[in-house]
Structure 1
Amino acid sequence: MDPLDIVGNLNNIKPVYQPIVSAIRHTVFGYEVLGRFYNDNEWHSLGDFFQDNEVPEEFKVEVDQHLLYIAISDMIESNETGHLFINRNAKQLLVNNGDDLLQSLIMFEKKGFSMNRIVIEVTEHDFEEDYEQLIHLLLYYKTYGIKIAVDQVGAKSSNIDRIRQLEPHILKIDTRIIRNRHSEGFQDIMYSLSMLARRIGAALLFENIEDDYQLNFAWKHGGRYYQGFYLAKPGFDLAAEEVLSVNVREKFAAYIQREKSKIEDRLKHVWNWEQKMKNLLSKWEGTKKVDAFIDAVTAQFDAESFRMYVCDSDGQQVSSNFRKHDDKWKVELDKLGSNWAFRPYFLENMMQMKTWKRGILSDVYSDIETREMVRTFGYPLSENDFLFIDISYSYIYENESLLL
C-alpha cells in the first residue's frame, strides 16, 4: 500500500482494540489501539506503514491522531471506563515537540476523558534515539497524569539505566521470547526484569500470549496485565468480558491451586529433611569429628544430594567437601578453610537458621562448578555450625515442586 493512499484516505482507516486483562480483577483493564486500512474489499493491518522508515513521521502522526480521535470518541460514547494504550515511537513523539498529542488529549479531557486513562507505549529501542529529548518529553507527559509503558523490555539490557530514570508505569514483555530463548537463560532475564519492576514501582504486562502455558508463565512471574490472541483478538468494537476467549478467573483459580499444591509438596520435602537431621543430631560431636558426622549424613541423603559440607557462622568451611562421584561419596580435603560468606543471602540464611533453629531451602541457582541448576538445604548443627546439603539437578528435575 502506498503511504500517500493511506494518508489521503483517512476515512478508510479505523482502529481495532485488543483487550488487556488484569490479574487483580480478572477483567479487561484497557485496550491497545491498532490501525486497519480498508482496501480491495478487506481490512489490512497498518503495522508495515508505521514500521517503514521511509514513511515520513508526519504521515504517521496524522494517521495516529486520526486513530486516537476515533478511539477516544468510541470510549466516551460507549461509557467504557478502561485505559487506552497507544503506540508512539520516538520520532513521532518529537514531531512538533510532542504538542500535537498533548493538545488532543487536553481537548478530550475537557469532554470527560481523563488523561490518567491514557498509556503511551514506547519501545526500548526508542531510548537509543534522541534520548535526552524523549525522556524529557515523557517525564513532562507524566506530570499530566499520562501513564508510560516501555515495550519489548529486555531486548537491550544496556537501556536498563535509562528505563530506571524514566520510571515507567508498565514494562511490557513479549512472551514470544519464551519460545525463542533457552529456558534457563530466560529465567535469569525474567528475574532481572522482575527486580527492576519492583525497584521502580512498575507493573509487568505480558503480551503476545498464545496458549495456556504462556499465560501460566506470565502469572507465575508476576504479570499484572496480560494480552494476546489466547485471551482475545483485536476487534472493531470495544469488547466486554464476554468476548474473552477463556475464562480468566477459572484459569487463575486453577493456577493458584496448582501452585499451592507444589508449595505444599516442597514444604514436605523440607520437613522430611529436617526430621532426618534431627535423628542424626545425636551423632554430632563438634567440629573435631565433623567429617565423620558428614559421612553418616551421606547415607541418609544419598538419593537427593551430590555434595555437602559444614561452615561456621562467619561462612568459613570447617569440614572437607563430601562429593558424589560415580554414585560413591569422595572426600575433598582442599575445600577446608574456604569462606563462602560473600555469596548472596548466605549470611541472611545462616542467621535465619540460627534464630529459628530449623532448616532452610535456597532458591534454585546455577552451581559454579557443575553449571547445573541446584538448591541447597541448610541445617543448624549448633549455635555456630551449619550443614549445607546441595540437592542435585536430577533430583530437582524428578520432583516438580523443587524446580521453582
Structure 2
Amino acid sequence: MTTPTGAVPTDVPTDTSMDTSMDTSMDTSMDVSALVDSLLAPGGIRAVFQPVVRVADGTVIGYEALARSTAVPMMSPAAWLEAAEGCGRRADVELACLAAAAAAGAPPGRGLIFLNTSPDVAADPRFGALCARLPRHVVEVTEHMAVEDYEPLLEALGALRSNGALIAVDDVGAGYASMAHVLQLSPSFIKIDRFLVSGLHLDPRRRALVEALQAFASATGALTVAEGVETPDELRALKEIGVDLAQGYLLARPADPWAVLSVQAAGVLVPRQRTAETQDPAVLEQALAGTATPAEACEVVSRHLARQGGLLPSVYLERGGVLRCLSRRGQWLVMDGMQPGAGIAGTAFSDGVEIHCPDVTTDARYRLAVPGVCAEIAVPLRARGAVVGVLNVDALAPLLPEHQDLVRRCATLLGARLEELHAEGAGGSVLHDLGRLAPVLAVAASPEDLCRAALAAVLDLTGFDSGALWTLDVGAGPVGGGTVTVAARRGPVADVLVGMPDAQVHQLRELVTDLTSCYSGGTDLSLAVPPMHTLRERGIRGVLVVPVRDGWNLTGVLTVVSTSSAYVAPESVDAIEALVLQAGSRLAALRRVAELSGVAAHVHQLLAPRAAGAPWGPGGRRLQGSRDVPPARPTPA
C-alpha cells in the first residue's frame, strides 16, 4: 500500500477517497493543527484489517492494518498524513496508527499483522517499543520520498529483526520502491504494486515483470504479495505464475477484525477437492526421475514444496552419523551437521517417526532458522529399509491437512528416488580440497602454528576475508562460563571478531554444540537471527561457524566472515568440517606433547643437581672419588 501504517490503498477504488474540496478548505495552519489534534486524541484513529491470502490454497496467513480517522472519515490517510508532515507531526500520527492496530490484539490462527511505516519512523525508538507489544508482525517499509542514507534505516530494521519482526518492501514496481531499494533492505516479503497487477492477464509485459519478480523472490528466499487484486482473471493469472500471496478488494475489503476470504475469491483459490496443482504426484515423479544425484533430488523436492507459498522446506540426509542439509528454501541460517535427536528434525530422524508441531512456540525442540515461523512438520526419509534422512517444512501459517499430506507424499517419492540412486553423494571435490590442504595441518609444529594454518585453510575454502579461532576450556559450562582465548586471527575485520565479549563467543559455541557447522543462508537476512545479529551490526554479511573438537569434547570455535558475500558453497562445507576435525585432533595431540614435555622438563630439573656429580651408590653413598659425606645411619635401638 502507498501510505504508512494502516493506510488506505490509494491505487484501488475506495469508499474513503479524499474529498478534494477539503484541500481548499484547510487554508490555515490552525485548520491543520486541529486536524492533527483530532487524529492524536484518544480514539481519533481506528484500525481496520484486510486479509493477506495464500494463493496456492486460499488460506488467510495474516492481515494488513489500515487506518481510518474517526473525525474526518471521508478524508484519505494520504491527505491527513501529508497535513501532519506539514506541521512536523507525521511521526506522532504514524505511531498513533500503530497503536490502534496493536489494540486489536492477535489475529486468529497466529496470523501475521502487516504494518506500514516510513523509513524515518522505522528508526524512531518509539516505533520499536510499540512493535514489541505486537503479536507476530511484518513491517512494511513505504516511502513518500527517496531514501538518501540507508545506514540508519538498516540499523533500525536490524534491531526489529533481532526481536522477531519480518520486513516487507511495499509498492515494488512503482514510485521509489526500485529494485535497488529491495536489494538494500533484503526483505522477507516483496509487495508487488497494483500498477503491475492490474490487467496482467491481458498484458504480456506486466505478466513478464511479475514473473521476474517471482523468480527473484524465490531465489532470495522472499515471498511475493500481489496488491490490489480486483478481478478473478487477475487472481487466476497470479496463481498460474506462482505468486505466493495476494490481497485486494476481490479477496476481501478492509473491515473490523477479522475479515474472511470472499466467496468469489474462494471459487478461484480453493479447489473443490482441496488438491492443489503442485500436489500432483506425477509432476514430482517426473522431475525426480531426471535427477542424477541425491543433492539434485533433494533440490527438486524443496523447489516443489516452496511453490505452495509460505512453506519453507529443508532436506537432510545422514552422512557420517550426522544430518547434512542438502537443500533448503527460505531459511536464513543453515543448521548443518545436526546430531540425531537435536531439534524437531533430528528427533524425527532418530525416532523414525513423523513430528507435526502446530505451534513452534510450545515445543522446546524448535530451532529458530528464520523468524515468523508458526508451525513445523518433519517426516523421516526411508530407503533400503532404513531411515536415511528427514524432510522438514517450516510454515508461516498453520499447516492444513492437505499440506501435511503433500509433505508425506514428497517424502515417500524422495525416499524411493534415493533408493534408486543408492544415496551416493559426490566426493571428488571434497577429496581434492582435503588432499591440497590437509598436509599443511599435518606439518604444523606447535598449537599456535596449527591454529593459524587451520584458519587460513578455511578462509581459502570459503573465499571469506577474515576469521578468528578461539580455544575454550573443555569443561566450560553454560553460556558466559569458561575461559576464552584467541588462538588465531586473520583478515581486515578480524578485530570485529576478537573484540566480541566472551559471552558472545560462548553463544556461538552453544549454537554449534550439536552441529558440525552453521553458516549464512545466502542472503543478507541470514544474520538477523541471534546470536548472528551482533555480527551484522558490525558490517558482516556472511559467516561460517565450525566447532573445534577433540573427539566429542568441544575445545574451540572457528569463525570466518565476509563483508561482501553472504553465500557459503555447500559443496565446500564437507571439506571444511573434515579439516577442522583434523585440526582439533592434532591440536589436542600437540597440547598433550607440550604437557609431557613440561613434565619431562620438571623431572629433569629435579634430577639436575644429582646429575651434576658422580652417581649415587648403594646405601646412599657416592661412588669412589666422591667427597660427599654419606648420609647418617640410624642409631640401633
With normalisation by structure 2, the TM-score equals 0.35
Call closer, same or farther: CA 1:187–1:64 in 2, change over 3 Å: same
Once the two structures are superposed, residues 5-38 of structure 1 have per-residue CA deviations (whole angstroms, 9 ceiling, x without a partner) of 3321233321111111123552221111111112
Secondary structure in 1 matching 2:104: helix
Q: Identical aligned pairs, as a percentage?
A: 26
**Contact 2:50–2:63 under 8 Å retained in 1:** yes
Call closer, same or farther: CA 1:24–1:260 in 2, change over 3 Å: closer
Aligned residue number for residue 67 of structure 2: 35
Larger Rg belongs to: 2
**Contact 1:17–1:238 under 8 Å retained in 2:** yes
Call closer, same or farther: CA 1:75–1:24 in 2, change over 3 Å: farther
Q: How far does residue 4 in structure 1 lie from its aligned partner after superposition?
A: 2.0
How many residues are paired up?
Answer: 249
Identify which of 96, 113, 120 aligns with 1:66.
96
Q: How far does residue 156 in structure 1 lie from its aligned partner after superposition?
A: 6.8
**Contact 1:194–1:222 under 8 Å retained in 2:** yes
- Alpha-carbon distance in structure 1 between the residues aligned to 2:276 and 2:117: 40
Give the counterpart letter for 2:271 in structure 1.
A
Call closer, same or farther: CA 1:212–1:250 in 2, change over 3 Å: closer
1:188-207 to 2 correspondence within 5 Å? 188-207=208-227
**Contact 2:119–2:143 under 8 Å retained in 1:** no
Secondary structure in 2 matching 1:223: coil
- Alpha-carbon distance in structure 2 between the residues aligned to 1:234 and 1:3: 27
Aligned residue number for residue 104 of structure 1: 130
1:23 paired to 2:43: no
Secondary structure in 2 matching 1:8: helix
**Contact 2:81–2:93 under 8 Å retained in 1:** no
Aligned residue number for residue 80 of structure 2: 49
Once the two structures are superposed, residues 181-207 of structure 1 have per-residue CA deviations (whole angstroms, 9 ceiling, x without a partner) of 882322332232122202211001011
- Alpha-carbon distance in structure 1 between the residues aligned to 2:176 and 2:36: 36
**Contact 1:31–1:84 under 8 Å retained in 2:** yes
Aligned residue number for residue 170 of structure 1: 189
- Alpha-carbon distance in structure 2 between the residues aligned to 1:215 and 1:34: 22
- Alpha-carbon distance in structure 1 between the residues aligned to 2:203 and 2:244: 21
1:245-324 to 2 correspondence within 5 Å? 245-248=263-266, 251-253=269-271
**Contact 2:32–2:84 under 8 Å retained in 1:** no
Aligned residue number for residue 153 of structure 2: 134
Aligned residue number for residue 36 of structure 2: 7
- Alpha-carbon distance in structure 1 between the residues aligned to 2:276 and 2:59: 20
Secondary structure in 1 matching 2:244: strand
More helix by share: 1
Identify which of 221, 229, 232 aligns with 1:212.
232
Once the two structures are superposed, residues 202-232 of structure 1 have per-residue CA deviations (whole angstroms, 9 ceiling, x without a partner) of 0010110111011112212222111101111
Aligned residue number for residue 362 of structure 1: none
- Alpha-carbon distance in structure 2 between the residues aligned to 1:250 and 1:191: 20
Once the two structures are superposed, residues 302-343 of structure 1 have per-residue CA deviations (whole angstroms, 9 ceiling, x without a partner) of xxxxxxxxxxxxxxxxxxxxxxxxxxxxxxxxxxxxxxxxxx
Provide structure 1 residue ranges, at least 5 long, that are not aligned to the other structure: 265-404
Structure with greater contact order relative to length (CA < 8 Å, sep ≥ 6): 1
With normalisation by structure 1, the TM-score equals 0.53
Q: How far does residue 152 in structure 1 lie from its aligned partner after superposition?
A: 1.4
Call closer, same or farther: CA 1:22–1:139 in 2, change over 3 Å: same
Identify which of 83, 95, 114 aligns with 2:112.
83
Call closer, same or farther: CA 1:229–1:147 in 2, change over 3 Å: same
- Alpha-carbon distance in structure 2 between the residues aligned to 1:21 and 1:55: 36
**Contact 1:16–1:237 under 8 Å retained in 2:** yes
- Alpha-carbon distance in structure 2 between the residues aligned to 1:132 and 1:28: 34
Aligned residue number for residue 249 of structure 2: 229
- Alpha-carbon distance in structure 2 between the residues aligned to 1:20 and 1:207: 9
**Contact 1:17–1:34 under 8 Å retained in 2:** yes
Secondary structure in 2 matching 1:253: coil
Secondary structure in 1 matching 2:217: helix
Secondary structure in 1 matching 2:229: coil
- Alpha-carbon distance in structure 1 between the residues aligned to 2:228 and 2:142: 15
- Alpha-carbon distance in structure 1 between the residues aligned to 2:176 and 2:215: 13
Aligned residue number for residue 167 of structure 2: 148
Q: How far does residue 100 in structure 1 lie from its aligned partner after superposition?
A: 0.8
Give the counterpart letter for 2:207 in structure 1.
Q
Call closer, same or farther: CA 1:156–1:79 in 2, change over 3 Å: closer
**Contact 1:90–1:126 under 8 Å retained in 2:** no
**Contact 2:49–2:254 under 8 Å retained in 1:** yes
Call closer, same or farther: CA 1:249–1:212 in 2, change over 3 Å: closer
Secondary structure in 2 matching 1:39: coil
Call closer, same or farther: CA 1:34–1:57 in 2, change over 3 Å: farther
**Contact 1:17–1:31 under 8 Å retained in 2:** yes
Call closer, same or farther: CA 1:125–1:188 in 2, change over 3 Å: farther
Q: How far does residue 233 in structure 1 lie from its aligned partner after superposition?
A: 0.8
**Contact 2:52–2:60 under 8 Å retained in 1:** yes
Alignment RMSD, CA only? 3.6
Aligned residue number for residue 386 of structure 1: none
Give the counterpart letter for 1:7 in structure 2.
V
Give the counterpart letter for 2:231 in structure 1.
D
**Contact 1:29–1:83 under 8 Å retained in 2:** yes
Once the two structures are superposed, residues 370-398 of structure 1 have per-residue CA deviations (whole angstroms, 9 ceiling, x without a partner) of xxxxxxxxxxxxxxxxxxxxxxxxxxxxx
- Alpha-carbon distance in structure 1 between the residues aligned to 2:177 and 2:129: 33
Give the counterpart letter for 2:162 in structure 1.
T
Secondary structure in 2 matching 1:75: coil
**Contact 1:90–1:129 under 8 Å retained in 2:** no
Secondary structure in 2 matching 1:150: strand
- In terms of mean alpha carbon deviation, does 63-72 or 204-213 score higher? 63-72
Secondary structure in 2 matching 1:208: coil
